[in-house]
Amino acid sequence: MKEVIKITFPSYSRNESFARGAVSAYAIRLDPTLEELNDVKAAVSEAVTNSVVHGYPDRIGIIELSIWSEKNVLYIRVKDKGLGIADVEQAMQPLFTTATDGERAGLGFAVMEDFCDNVSVKSAVGKGTVVTLSKKIKSRANNI
Amino acid sequence: MNTGSKLSRVEINLSDKTLTAVISGDVDHHNLQDIRGKIDYAIETSSARNIILDLSAVPFCDSSVIGLILGRKRLADRLGAAVIIRAPNPYVMKIIKLSGLSDMVEQAAKQAEQLAS
Ligand SMILES: Nc1ncnc2c1ncn2[C@@H]1O[C@H](COP(=O)(O)OP(=O)(O)O)[C@@H](O)[C@H]1O
Ligand SMILES: [Mg+2]
């Protein structure tokens, strides 16, 4: 049976580090290198921050984080029931951002794509967004 | 392996025309809000011509750090000052490279990074 760990939390920005911590704690089982662990932490940080900032810009909503693995592939799913994305392809282009405060670089999806093996985004306007990340972990033991 | 996340702090050092902001701890969207305000206040109330963002004590960041750099650069440009990134660790450098801002990294750090990779 596939063991999925599911955590839901409110979209307070302080929970961005909580999500990274939860994913790190799980990923340790796969014996990642420090670089792999940092890659995974960054990718989940981007996905959760997007739900906080763009999914629920004007309210606190629920974010659902699911973590599982199959053999040495780590899967992370971040789901919100927020505003959704009208044009996913455009949103995923590096440097594209709808933020207007000049403090976002439009690089969240670029980090996810660069640091993971696969990024899938499903979104519907008014319904929410689901981002699924996967990354093959080359166990540290195999690198020594 | 340290998996805990650290609270970010920033310490401002001002000498002559150089303002150095030493940031420590993880940099993400959440703890950026505090760092940013402190750095901007320091920049605006000084007459510094060089602004150094010292990242040597930042173990981890996500792309929020790019927003931090670009936002400060915009303010500095307006005031006629330059922004330099100092001593990012190889992992933080990876994020900086992805954003195409490698040229803002101080040379010594860049060389050390190249040796390491
Ligand atoms: N969970 C989400 N809900 C709504 N919109 C999103 C979500 N995630 C991403 N987006 C949209 O995709 C754009 C690009 O995201 P990203 O690459 O992370 O850059 P940034 O967060 O810096 O804007 C965002 O500006 C936003 O318009
Ligand atoms: Mg983002």
Q: How confident is the model at residue A105 (pLDDT cuts 50, 70, 90)?
A: confident
**Predicted confidence (pLDDT) per residue in A44-86, tens digit:** 999 999 999 999 999 999 999 999 999 999 999 999 999 999 9
User: Chain-wide mean pLDDT for chain B?
Assistant: 89
- Which numbered atom of ligand 1 lies nearest the CA of A104? 22
Nearest chain B alpha carbon to A48: B29
Nearest to A24 among B3, B32, B91 (CB): B3
Nearest chain A alpha carbon to B89: A35
Cβ pair B88, B82 in contact under 8 A = no
Nearest-CA neighbor of A40 among A133, A141, A108?
A133
Average pLDDT of the residues in A28-33: 95
Instruction: Report yes or no for ipTM above 0.85.
Output: yes
CATH 2.60.130.10 fits domain B9-116: no
